[in-house]
Structure formats: structure tokens, C-alpha cells
Amino acid sequence: MHIAIAGNIGSGKTTLTRLLARHYGWEPRYETVTDNPYLADYYSDINRWAFPMEVFYLKERFRDMLEIKQSAKDIVQDRTIFEGVYVFARNNHIMGNLDDRDFDTYMELYESMMLRVDYPRLLVYLRTPLKSLVANIDKRGRDYERKMPIDYLESLNKLYDDFVLNEYPAQKLIIDNSGLDFEHNAKDLGKIIDQIDAELFGLFTNNTLKP
């Protein structure tokens, strides 16, 4: 079993990954953040560092997908290669941080990787309003994230919606994440778990969160 948690920066996807791994007894797989050698530079000068940062993430996420494919364990993954490409890299291209030449090279590399990559059994998307994202980012206090322009975060949110709602071709579950506190409220977490169970195992429940 392989499920993945999708969501914008500050949506709580890493927290949900940890909680679901504990609930199901699955292995959590977290994306590289603190070990990314480009990240702090990227937030200081996005235009200069966008291409190497996106290629670094593409390489890391491709490696993760290969390891997950080869693993016999049940895995819950924090963000996928698909979001990296169709949300983050696409956003940098739209904003002019990746020119056409760099983006075409990046996409050709990604398309070659897709020959070896499988979709998760289920993609769980934490659809989170901008105000909540900003509050969560401020709360966790990473200096490089606090430097992000609001319009950058807003653009990512729009691309997440477009990708998950209109383009993602495999099974997905959309969670309306406004007002939820699944880290501290067991009832909120339980409702999310009920929906995941229904998607994965065909279980029926009255405790559902409507997207």
C-alpha cells in the first residue's frame, strides 16, 4: 500500500503523514527540506536559484518513488514528484523564474523518469485556505519561509487546485482543511481516517468531511 499526502506549504501535510503512519502502522516517508542545499538561497533570490532547486527536488522525489516501488512495506508519503512538477516547477515557470529553455529541459527529464514511476494507491489533498497557510508558516518560524511573498503562496494554492481537481489521473481524496485541527483534535483526525478507509477498503461511514 502506498498513499501520499498532498498540500501547499503550511497545510499540515507532514503532520498528517506522521499521524497516519502511527495510526496504520505504516512507514512514513518525508520529503527533504532541511537537507536541501539550495532552499535558503532560493527564498532569498528565487529567480537565480529556481532551476537548481527544482532539479534537486526532482532528483530526490524520483529516488523516493523508486524506493517506494521496490519496498514491500506499506508507506504514507509526504508530497510526491507530481506536485513538484505540476505545482512548484510550473509555478516558477509561470512567474518567470524558470525560462522556457530551463523548463523544457526539466520537463524532458521528468517525462523520462515517468517511465519508471507508479501513481500512489491514493492521493490525499489537504485543500487549505491562504489565511491558514500564512498562520501555520508563521507559527513554525522558519525564517526562509517567512520571506515568501504572499502572491507566491497564493499562486501555489491555485495550481494545487487545478492539478488535483482537473489533471491528476489517479484515485484522490480531497479534504477541506479550513478549521480542522487534526493534530490536537482526535475527532477531526478520526473523520479524515474514516474517509481514507472508505477510499482504500470500501468501508461506509457517516463521519465524512465534504470537500
Residue 156's SS3 state is helix
- Of the residues 41, 45, 78, 143, only one is catalytic, namely 78
What's the CA gap between 2 and 7, in Å, rounded? 17
What's the CA gap between 93 and 48, in Å, rounded? 13
Is there a catalytic annotation at residue 78?
Answer: yes
Residue set of the binding site: 7-15, 180-182
The one-letter code for the residue type at 69 is: K
Proportion of the chain in helix, strand, coil states, percent, rounded to 5 = 60, 10, 30
Residue set of the binding site for ATP: 7-15, 180-182
Residue 123 CA, distance from chain mean position = 9
Residue 98 CA, distance from chain mean position = 20
Active site residues: 78
